[in-house]
């Protein structure tokens, strides 16, 4: 057996006498994919996903095929059961995977749909190992953290590389170096770099430079200790990205360089930025893209002509950020109002739409537990439009219904997303159809008028993990409706879903007769997916989550129309294009 073969024995090859265990998937070509590993030190929440996605974007622009993957240390199988208040929003991929919000950052930055192969948790890794153990795959061996668990991690990464035929795989390790739950990921990266050989991998440590107010200067000690911890795991970083509130001084960068054996040009300053979309330019200006290409020896794979074109297009977008001449205030109702991360995709979708329309969409949060019919006008006096986003449970539901009513009666632009769609149906049923006791069975189990009820396919399911109606689904649009016009008169579109409840089909006729238009439906199933009110300037609800598929250069039409409607509301005396015209202009330009 050659040395390589020895190291990279295939699964079926496992010899119980050998200490080597490094399964390699079929079709894996060593050297084709190069890896960039991104670790965090000092603190979590530094924006590893943002950094990694920006670097990946620079490589993708150069014509390289990139595949990101996020590794999470937690034991959950996916992010579906996580509380967004603790962990940020649950992002849903087209294939139905419920994952960390960083996958949303990658999809937006790369304008690329990802799959479950781009997300792995310790839960998945261990579940797979235990399954294999019961199947007898390790017969004769005690199953160990090293080499079996690390082998499983390497297998995941190589599978992704082989399946996507990537030039570069960007691996982001959740949490921080030093977390017990992440230790075996780091070990796996170290092993993979050895097995795939020189120039196959590049290690990036993201660190944080403190600037205590009392001292008034930047201090590097915490960063040094964090990097030292990584080195103790046998990993020599190639690049150190210093996150900080302000640009990192040369002196601090020098200290870090001396301490870590990383040349100064590869110790870069990544200060806070007003928009994450400015960060690719920051990394590019620091020359990081070419440093990585040189480290991995893949300069010969790039196409600079391709890059120039894409970069110019990207700069057209970033040049507009922060320069808007108009401003609207969007009220968002919601339970997790104190954490921006809980609504990351909505905030992004508003930023994409606003930037394209030359209008800053400022967000204000509305706590719905306090809102009643009587005080609604006070609470909503300052907003130009309102979003009722996704949600679960009963808290604040009545307040959301009040908001939908206020928006309907006062011509305030309304966008209901999933739960917000359902609450709009409940409101309409109560106040227009006269079904005064209408409700969702999620809010009032066993209520007398269940206009929103659990999906038939959900009734049979027990347990709460990964069992909603999840992922991308086609939606048939009804001609001549607002939705149909916003989507450029398309017959069918695709959006992503994550729900258990739906409009009870028994009420559809009654709702329609009273004036509710269901402009988007599931093909071949009576599942209502988009609603609107013909006599209102902009009253739109969708059972889907359109925010998940909005991209910086391809803003989502519902959000563009919504912000355009808010502009009309805010600037009634200006002759602004109506929401359909504005959306057509923006979306035909970008698609
Ligand atoms: N709780 C509602 C349902 O399960 C809405 C879900 C959501 O807003 N994502 O259908």
pLDDT tens, 378-412? 999 999 999 999 999 888 999 999 999 999 999 99
Q: Is the pLDDT of residue 226 over 70?
A: yes
Give yes or no for residue 311 CB within 6 A of ligand 1: no
pLDDT at 16: 57
One of 3.40.50.360, 3.40.50.150, 3.10.350.10, 3.40.50.880 is the CATH number of 326-590, namely 3.40.50.880
Whether 202 and 37 have beta carbons less than 8 Å apart is answered as yes
Give yes or no for residue 334 CB within 6 A of ligand 1: no
Q: Which residue has the tokens 């690329």?
A: 112
* 1-20: average pLDDT: 51
Q: How far apart are CA 277 and CA 204, in angstroms?
A: 20
* 523-546: average pLDDT: 96
**pTM for the whole structure:** 0.94
Whether 358 and 325 have beta carbons less than 8 Å apart is answered as yes
* 190-199: average pLDDT: 96
Domain spans of the chain? 37-314, 326-590
> What does the DSSP assignment read for 188-224?
HHHHHHHHH-TTSEEEEEEEE-B--TTTTS-B-HHHH
* 189-208: average pLDDT: 96
Bridge pairing between strands 469-477 and 516-521: antiparallel
pLDDT at 565: 98
Ligand 1: centre distance to CA 392 (Å): 5
338 — pLDDT class (breaks 50, 70, 90):
low
140 — pLDDT class (breaks 50, 70, 90):
confident
Q: What CATH homologous superfamily does 37-314 map to? A: P-loop containing nucleotide triphosphate hydrolases (3.40.50.300)
Residue nearest to atom 9 of ligand 1 (CA): 390
pLDDT at 4: 45
Q: Is the pLDDT of residue 264 over 80?
A: yes
Give yes or no for residue 98 CB within 6 A of ligand 1: no
* 527-555: average pLDDT: 97
From 390, 458, 496, give the residue whose CB has the most ligand 1 atoms within 8 Å, as the site to mutate. Answer: 390
What angle, rounded to 10 degrees, do the helices at 344-357 and 557-570 form? Answer: 60
507 — pLDDT class (breaks 50, 70, 90):
very high
* 326-335: average pLDDT: 91
pLDDT at 370: 87
Percent of the chain beyond pLDDT 70? 95
pLDDT at 9: 43
Enter the DSSP assignment of 247: P
Same fold, 37-314 and 326-590: yes
SS (H, E, C) 541-586: EECCCHHHHCECCECCHHHHHHHHHHHHHHCCCCCCCCHHHHHHHH
For 371, the token pair is: 């809102």
pLDDT at 590: 62
Ligand 1: centre distance to CA 414 (Å): 18
Whether 378 and 402 have beta carbons less than 8 Å apart is answered as no
Q: Is the pLDDT of residue 554 over 70?
A: yes
Q: What is the mean pLDDT of the chain?
A: 93
Q: Is the pLDDT of residue 178 over 50?
A: yes
Q: How far apart are CA 405 and CA 390, in angstroms?
A: 17
Ligand 1: centre distance to CA 146 (Å): 41
CA-angle at 502, arms to 409 and 493, nearest 5°: 85
Whether 21 and 14 have beta carbons less than 8 Å apart is answered as yes
SS (H, E, C) 433-497: CCCCCEEECCCCCCCCEEEEEECHHHHCCCCCCCCCEEEEEEEEECCCCHHHHHCCCCCEEEEEE
**Can you give the length of the chain in residues?**
591
* 20-36: average pLDDT: 92
190 — pLDDT class (breaks 50, 70, 90):
very high
Tens-digit pLDDT profile for residues 577-590: 999 999 999 998 76
Find all residues with CB under 8 Å of 394, minimum gap 6, and list them. 442, 443, 444
Whether 122 and 75 have beta carbons less than 8 Å apart is answered as yes
What angle, rounded to 10 degrees, do the helices at 557-570 and 579-590 form? Answer: 140
């Amino acid at each position: 057996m050659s040395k390589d073969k020895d190291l990279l024995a295939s699964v079926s090859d496992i010899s119980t006498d050998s200490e080597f265990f490094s399964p390699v998937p079929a079709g894996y070509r060593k050297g084709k994919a190069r890896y960039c590993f991104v670790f965090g030190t000092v603190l979590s929440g530094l924006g590893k996903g943002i950094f990694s996605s920006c670097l990946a974007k620079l490589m993708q622009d150069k014509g390289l095929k990139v595949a990101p993957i996020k590794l999470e240390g937690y034991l959950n199988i996916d992010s579906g059961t996580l509380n967004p208040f603790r962990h940020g929003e649950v992002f849903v991929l087209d294939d139905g995977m419920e994952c960390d919000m960083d996958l949303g950052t990658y999809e937006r930055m790369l304008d690329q749909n990802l799959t479950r192969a781009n997300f792995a948790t310790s839960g998945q890794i261990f579940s797979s190992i235990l399954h294999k153990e019961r199947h007898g795959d390790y017969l004769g061996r005690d199953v160990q953290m090293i080499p079996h668990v690390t082998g499983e991690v390497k297998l995941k990464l190589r599978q992704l590389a082989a399946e996507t035929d990537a030039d570069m795989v960007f691996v982001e390790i959740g949490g921080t170096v030093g977390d017990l739950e992440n230790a075996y990921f780091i070990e796996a990266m170290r092993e993979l770099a050895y097995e795939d050989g020189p120039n196959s991998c590049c290690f990036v440590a993201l660190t944080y430079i403190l600037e205590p107010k009392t001292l008034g200067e930047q201090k590097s000690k915490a960063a040094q200790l964090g990097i030292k911890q990584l080195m103790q795991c046998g990993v020599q970083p190639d690049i150190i990205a210093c996150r900080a509130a302000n640009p990192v001084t040369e002196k601090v960068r020098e200290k870090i360089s001396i301490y870590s054996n990383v040349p100064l040009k590869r110790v870069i300053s990544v200060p806070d930025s007003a928009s994450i979309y400015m960060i690719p330019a920051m990394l590019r200006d620091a020359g990081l893209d070419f440093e990585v290409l040189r480290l991995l020896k893949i300069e010969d794979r790039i196409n600079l002509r391709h890059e120039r074109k894409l970069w110019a297009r990207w700069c057209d977008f970033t040049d507009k950020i922060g320069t808007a001449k108009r401003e609207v205030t969007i009220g968002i109702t919601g339970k997790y109002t104190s954490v921006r991360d809980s609504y990351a995709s909505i905030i992004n979708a508003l930023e994409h739409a606003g930037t394209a329309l030359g209008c800053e969409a400022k967000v204000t949060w509305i706590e719905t537990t306090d809102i009643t019919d009587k005080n609604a006008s006070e609470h909503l006096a300052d907003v130009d439009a309102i979003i009722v986003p996704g949600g679960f449970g009963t808290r604040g539901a009545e307040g959301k219904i009040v908001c939908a009513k206020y928006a309907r009666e006062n011509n305030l632009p309304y966008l209901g997303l999933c739960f917000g769609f359902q609450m709009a149906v409940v409101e309409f049923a109560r106040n227009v159809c006269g079904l005064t006791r209408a409700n969702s069975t999620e809010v009032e189990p066993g209520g007398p008028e269940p206009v929103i009820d659990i999906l038939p396919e959900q009734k049979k399911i027990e347990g709460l993990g990964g069992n909603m109606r999840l992922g991308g689904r086609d939606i048939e649009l009804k001609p001549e409706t607002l939705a149909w016009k916003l989507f450029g008169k398309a017959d069918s579109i695709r959006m992503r879903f994550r729900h258990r409840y739906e409009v009870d089909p028994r009420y559809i006729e009654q709702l329609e007769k009273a004036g509710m238009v269901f402009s988007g439906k599931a093909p071949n199933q009576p599942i209502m997916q988009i609603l609107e009110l013909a006599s209102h300037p902009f009253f739109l609800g969708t059972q889907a989550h359109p925010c998940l598929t909005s991209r910086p250069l391809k803003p989502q039409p519902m959000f563009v129309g919504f912000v355009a409607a808010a502009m009309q509301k805010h600037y009634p005396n200006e002759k602004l294009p109506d929401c359909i015209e504005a959306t057509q202009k923006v979306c035909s330009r970008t698609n």
